[in-house]
Amino acid sequence: MAIQTGILVNGSHIYEIDRTLGNIIIALIIVLVIVILALAIAVKRRAIAQYKTKSAEERLKESYSELENAYKKVSKTQKELSTKYEELKRSEENNRKIAYTDYLTEIPNRTAFSEKLDDVMNTLRKEEVVAVMYIDLDNFKNINDVLGHSYGDELLIDVSHRLKQAIDENDYLARFGGDEFIVLSQNIEDVGLYEEKIRKIQKVFSYPFVLSLKEFFVTISIGVAYAPRDGKTTQSLIKNVDLAMYTAKEKGKNTYCFYEESINQRLMNKIELQSELRQAIDFNEFEVFYQAQIDLDTNRIAGFEALVRWNHPTKGIILPGDFIPIAEQTGLIVPIGKWVMFEACKQLKKWEEEGFDDITMAVNLSGRQFFDTDLVAMVREALDTTEINPAHLELEITETVVLDNIEYSIDVIEQIKAFGVHFSLDDFGTGYSAMNYLRMLPVSNLKIDKSFLDRLIENQCDQKIVASIINLARNLEMDVIAEGVEYEAQADFLRSVDCKLAQGFLYSKPIPKKAANDLLDQYNKM
């Protein structure tokens, strides 16, 4: 702006003045910068001088306090860390305790036992023997069903206390499952002594448990296996001790059983039989045999009982006692039983058509069949298909089966009776023989079990029982049939007490249909 003005008013003069002013300003700036620099240097020098004047001791003090602060911080963090670590350890221990302890009885659980046994098996010394005892309460389900689960739990706790009482200090007790306990004993030197331990355990169950102010007796089934003889690994030892316990159950419970090789063999046979049984219907391997039932007054055949046989392709004829329990367990009894029912009804129809129109046909029903929801429909179908006289069909059931659920049983019996079919109570005298139930059951026949006939001649007591059963049946308007009659003397006695019907080897064994036909000709064509 100054240059422009200079040019406008008087060019060279004004320009001159401007230049001098510029130089003065620049010189001033330079002086100012120099002064500032000098001041800065002076301040810095002073600071350095001050610092240098501080004593080495002071500096040491400062560093020390800094160090102290730092140390405090570190030790605080360290403390915090170790508290955290303790907490973690405690919760880990807690978790471990939870994972290895049975919540109910507070003794070691299955996991703990398996790990313990693993350790023992892995460090087993040569010649060292350990024993595992598998204890299962008999009929525990009943306690749970009758009293409810909380009393069931209470019982399990009591059981664990009693077991603790009975075992030795070094034994390892665990709860293995619901009502199953397991005891590991190491360094077994005397098997006889070990058996004493088993008996001691049984003994603590000889006095009752008090639940809900009532006394209950509880029995146990025990399996025992020794390692290494009965299993070299935890898994195989536990499998075998379980089998031994299962065998004790099969023997009627409240007993103990040692594992043996044969147990395994038996199980293998059973498994084999089970799979063969599945195909036996399709392969047409079943056959119905018929056993005559004799009218003791007329000496004629009053009826037959249909008894199934299995014609096994390699093992020959297998009797029902050897496969019906397996069929029952697997449910295969339902289709097998249906086949028997149709076969027996067809045969009865044939005999009716041949003129033997006053004979009956008895067909056995097992528990599984009886409680099968299709039973009523199945019987109806058999009657419709074969067109037999329903009054000639008799269904045999046992007390033990019907008493499992008496109301349901009566209902089923009534429904089938409505078709005109009759019912017999098989093996009478071997079950509960509860008279009040007998009164309620709508059955027409009592079959006195063979066991009463066996000692009938020499045992007066059995004679009285048989006479009483016959009397009782008469009073309840039922017929009586004696099973297992083998001697004429038995038949004579039965006649003397007014028993109307008999079945047994004296007259005929169960025989194939063709032979039964001949027997009918022989007895009833006269």
Binding site for ligand C2E (CB under 6 A): 291, 307-308, 319-321, 324, 333, 337, 340, 364-366, 369, 396, 426-427, 450, 483-486, 503-505, 510
What minimum distance in Å lies between the beta carbon of 155 and Mg ion?
36
Which of Mg ion, ligand C2E, none does residue 418 bind (CB under 5 to 8 Å by kind)?
none
Spatial distance between the Cα atoms of 387 and 337, rounded to a whole number of angstroms: 19
Using the minimum distance from each CB to ligand C2E, give the nearer residue, 273 or 485.
Answer: 485
User: Quick one: which of 402, 505, 401 has its CA closest to 453?
Assistant: 505
Max distance between CA atoms of the chain, in angstroms, equals 176
Spatial distance between the Cα atoms of 483 and 268, rounded to a whole number of angstroms: 34
Using the minimum distance from each CB to ligand C2E, give the nearer residue, 429 or 510.
Answer: 510
Using the minimum distance from each CB to ligand C2E, give the nearer residue, 241 or 333.
Answer: 333
On whether the CB atoms of residues 298 and 524 are closer than 8 A, the answer is no
Using the minimum distance from each CB to Mg ion, give the nearer residue, 307 or 332.
Answer: 307
Of the candidate residues 427, 465, 486, 511, the single one contacting Mg ion (CB under 5 A): 427
Using the minimum distance from each CB to Mg ion, give the nearer residue, 230 or 449.
Answer: 449
Of the candidate residues 242, 352, 426, 462, the single one contacting Mg ion (CB under 5 A): 426
User: Quick one: which of 421, 476, 487 has its CA closest to 454?
Assistant: 487
Spatial distance between the Cα atoms of 487 and 505, rounded to a whole number of angstroms: 8
Using the minimum distance from each CB to ligand C2E, give the nearer residue, 172 or 507.
Answer: 507
β-bridge pairing 479-483 and 445-448: parallel
Spatial distance between the Cα atoms of 518 and 526, rounded to a whole number of angstroms: 13
What minimum distance in Å lies between the beta carbon of 318 and ligand C2E?
10
Identify the residue whose tokens are 């602060």. Answer: 69
Residues near 466 by beta carbon (within 8 Å), at least 6 away in sequence:
448, 452, 453, 456, 482, 493, 494, 497, 499
Using the minimum distance from each CB to Mg ion, give the nearer residue, 231 or 484.
Answer: 484
Spatial distance between the Cα atoms of 516 and 508, rounded to a whole number of angstroms: 9
On whether the CB atoms of residues 519 and 508 are closer than 8 A, the answer is yes
Using the minimum distance from each CB to Mg ion, give the nearer residue, 120 or 296.
Answer: 296
User: What 8-state DSSP symbol labels residue 101?
Assistant: B
Crossing angle between the packed helical segments 110-122 and 234-250, to the nearest 10 degrees = 120
Using the minimum distance from each CB to ligand C2E, give the nearer residue, 152 or 504.
Answer: 504
What minimum distance in Å lies between the beta carbon of 101 and ligand C2E?
47
What minimum distance in Å lies between the beta carbon of 159 and Mg ion?
38
Which of Mg ion, ligand C2E, none does residue 319 bind (CB under 5 to 8 Å by kind)?
ligand C2E
Q: Which tokens go with 472?
A: 């009782």
User: Quick one: which of 367, 353, 356 has its CA closest to 304?
Assistant: 356
Which of Mg ion, ligand C2E, none does residue 231 bind (CB under 5 to 8 Å by kind)?
none
Which of Mg ion, ligand C2E, none does residue 230 bind (CB under 5 to 8 Å by kind)?
none
What minimum distance in Å lies between the beta carbon of 454 and ligand C2E?
9
Q: Which tokens go with 263?
A: 């147990």
On whether the CB atoms of residues 88 and 137 are closer than 8 A, the answer is no
Which of Mg ion, ligand C2E, none does residue 337 bind (CB under 5 to 8 Å by kind)?
ligand C2E
Residue 247 engages Mg ion in binding (rule: CB under 5 A): no
Q: Which tokens go with 204?
A: 């603590």
Binding mask 375-414 for Mg ion (x = CB under 5 A): ---------------------x------------------
Binding mask 479-518 for Mg ion (x = CB under 5 A): ----x-----------------------------------
User: Quick one: which of 461, 456, 458 has its CA closest to 482?
Assistant: 456
Q: Applying CB under 5 A, which residues contact Mg ion?
A: 364, 396, 426-427, 483
